[in-house]
Amino acid sequence: MVSYVDSETPKELIPQILEMLSVAKDSGKVKKGVNETTKAIERKTAKLVVIAQDVTPEEIVIHIPMLCKENSITYAFVPTKKELGVSVGIAVGTSAVAVENPGGATEKLQDILKKMPKPGAAKAEEKPKPKEAPKKEEAPKKEEAAEKPKKKEKKQETESK
């Protein structure tokens, strides 16, 4: 398993996901490619994100699962870029797609989302962030306080001359 694939998509769901993408591309709105998918996730308009498992170098898509978790968007993995590209109607493979509006595939999407693990559940497993150490109050420096009266004394000395 590739390092960015953190959860296995059930094998029986993969054909359903690809079929749903085919319907959604015709009657709904599907974003194709890593850049458009990332934008859809950040704008929180994506309902489902699908990522290919055979992406090289993996750094291209390694950020997508983390963004999906942060924004509570369900994501799935399919075996190849070619399958993903064909399902959304392009001749070449694509590394990631985001479904923004499923159109006629709304029921299929809802069915898939019910069967997929919730992205927010993974957040609970993460370790809580360490608390910051309490800040110490700084006392005024003695040197600064002692220097100020000296300046006044010098002024008084120059005035008296």
pTM: 0.71
- Whether 3 maps to a domain, the answer reads no
Asked if 21 and 109 touch (Cβ cutoff 8 Å), the reply is no
Mean pLDDT of 25-37: 93
Quickly state the pLDDT bin for 73 (edges 50, 70, 90).
very high
Query: Please, what is the angle between helix 13-27 and helix 106-115, to 10°?
Result: 150
- The β-bridge relationship of strands 48-52 and 74-78 is parallel
How many domains is the chain partitioned into structurally? 1
CA–CA dist 3, 152 (Å, integer): 68
Domain-located, residue 148 = no
The domain containing residue 46 runs over which residues? 13-125
Classify residue 152: in a domain, yes or no: no
Task: Say how far apart CA 39 and CA 31 lie, in whole Å.
Answer: 9
What does the block give as tokens for 12? 């029986």
